[in-house]
């Protein structure tokens, strides 16, 4: 069955890290309500949603995607580039070890899960301010025995690789051309985000469905026109914290937890 690990919104979300987005007041109660709706959307798409307790002293801990890379054979705990986020992984690791053997990125490596896009056996890793070359090299060493390989991709002007590109299927990408060069992905069909919707490239793929923020209707239409199913969620408060839809879950196939 498909598992989705999530974590409740921290009451300190307003003190989150921000890199390319200007700080705006966050309504935490609203963020929490939106996050619950996101969890319900994942449930409706067949996920068994596991919910970790909020971490009151860790503003960004709701963004569980950044602390682990979960593959079919193994999970790799990351070492997030922002120091304030390095404590978030412990409770996720505790849960993940029920499902996968664990490996870990060690200092001086840094890696955010938001920088890792898996398509088939390739893990594209963004060269962002959060993930360094040592982090990519350690990821490669941790997973190569399972037949995966890491490919570094330059990005500019955004937080993470998956701010700039995500996969709608194994051969079609959704991409923001201002932040990443489509030439880094030879052989893929590419749908560009609508120019009026700068942050629209981050979709969460669950099976054949693209889960994306409701505030990008033009890009949603482009995706539907290409034959994909779209489910929208309202995540405006989480977007103020520089998150969107992939960041709030770790999704993988696993037996039901006891
Ligand atoms: C951060 O800057 O780390 C958080 N405020 C946002 C992280 C979003 N993560 C993601 O999209 N994978």
What domain count does the chain have? 1
Residue 65 lies in a domain: yes
pTM: 0.97
Answer whether residue 258 is part of any domain: no
Using only the alpha carbons of the chain, give its radius of gyration.
17
- ipTM rounded to 2 decimals: 0.99
Is 8 a domain residue?
yes
56 domain-assigned: yes
Q: Is residue 121 part of a domain?
A: yes
Cis ω before 162 (30° cut-off from 0): no
- Strands 47-52, 2-7: pairing kind: parallel
In a domain, 41, yes or no: yes
Domain of residue 236, residue span: 2-253
| Burial state string for 32-41 with b = 16 or more CB within 10 A and e = fewer than 16 | bebbeebbeb
Nearest atom of ligand 1 to the alpha carbon of 66: 12
Q: What three-state secondary structure class fits 11?
A: coil
Q: Of all protein residues, whose CA lies closest to atom 1 belonging to ligand 1?
A: 17
- Measured in Å, residue 242 CA sits from the centre of ligand 1 at 6
Gap from CA of 85 to ligand 1 centroid (Å):
10
Structure tokens at 125: 């890793």
Q: Which of 130, 243, 245, 249 to mutate to test the pocket of ligand 1 (most atoms within 8 A of CB)?
A: 243
CA distance 126 to 159: 9
Residue 257: predicted pLDDT:
40
For residue 258, the model assigns a pLDDT of: 42
Predicted local distance difference test score (pLDDT) of residue 255: 73
Residues with CB under 6 Å of ligand 1 are: 16-17, 19, 60, 63, 65-66, 82, 85, 114, 159-160, 241-243, 246-247
d(CA 219, CA 211): 12
Give the domain CATH number at 30: 3.75.10.10
Q: How many CB atoms lie within 10 A of CB 66?
A: 29
Strands (E), the chain: 2-7, 47-52, 68-70, 75-77, 102-104, 116-119, 122-127, 149-154, 165-167, 172-175, 189-192, 204-206, 209-213, 229-233, 250-253
Q: What are the CA-CA distances from residue 248 to residues 15, 118, 130 (Å)? A: 17, 17, 17
The Å distance, Cα 60 to ligand 1 centre, comes to: 7
Q: How far is the CA of 89 from the centre of ligand 1 (A)?
A: 14
pLDDT the model gives residue 162: 98
Ligand 1 atom with minimal separation from the 244 CA = 11
Enzyme catalytic residues: 160, 247
In this structure, the residue with its CA closest to atom 8 of ligand 1 is 243
Phi/psi of residue 106, nearest 5 degrees: -115, 160
In order along its 258 residues, the chain shows pLDDT tens digits of 999 999 999 999 999 999 999 999 999 999 999 999 999 999 999 999 999 999 999 999 999 999 999 999 999 999 999 999 999 999 999 999 999 999 999 999 999 999 999 999 999 999 999 999 999 999 999 999 999 999 999 999 999 999 999 999 999 999 999 999 999 999 999 999 999 999 999 999 999 999 999 999 999 999 999 999 999 999 999 999 999 999 999 999 997 444
- Which residue in 90, 48, 50, 83 sits closest to 67, CA to CA? 90
Q: Is residue 83 part of a domain?
A: yes
Q: Are 165 and 185 in contact (CB under 8 A)?
A: yes
Task: Give the whole-angstrom CA distance, residue 7 versus residue 184.
Answer: 33
Q: Is the dihedral of CA 81, 115, 242, 8 positive or negative?
A: negative
**Is 36 inside a domain boundary?**
yes
What's the CA-to-centroid distance between 217 and ligand 1, angstroms?
Answer: 23
């Amino acid at each position: 069955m498909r598992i989705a690990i999530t974590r409740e919104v921290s009451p300190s979300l307003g003190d989150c890290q921000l890199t390319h987005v200007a700080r705006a007041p966050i309504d935490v109660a609203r963020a929490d309500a939106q996050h619950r709706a996101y969890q319900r959307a994942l449930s409706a798409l067949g996920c068994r949603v596991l919910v970790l307790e909020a971490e009151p002293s860790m503003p960004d801990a709701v963004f569980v995607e950044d602390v682990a890379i979960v593959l079919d054979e193994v999970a790799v705990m990351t070492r997030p580039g922002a120091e304030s986020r390095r404590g978030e992984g412990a409770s996720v690791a505790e849960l993940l070890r029920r499902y996968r053997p664990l490996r870990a990125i060690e200092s001086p490596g840094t890696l955010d899960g938001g920088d890792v896009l898996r398509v088939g056996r390739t893990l594209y890793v963004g060269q962002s301010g959060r993930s360094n070359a040592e982090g990519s090299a350690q990821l490669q060493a941790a997973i190569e025995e399972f037949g995966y390989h890491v490919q570094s991709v330059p990005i500019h002007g955004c937080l993470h690789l998956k701010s700039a590109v995500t996969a709608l299927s194994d051969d079609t990408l959704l991409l923001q051309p201002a932040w990443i060069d489509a030439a880094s992905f030879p052989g893929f069909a590419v749908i560009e985000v609508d120019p009026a919707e700068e942050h629209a490239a981050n979709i969460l793929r669950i099976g054949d469905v693209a889960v994306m923020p409701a505030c990008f209707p033009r890009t949603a239409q482009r995706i539907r026109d290409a034959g994909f199913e779209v489910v929208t969620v309202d995540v405006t408060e989480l977007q103020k914290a520089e998150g969107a839809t992939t960041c709030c879950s770790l999704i993988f196939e696993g037996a039901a937890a006891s």
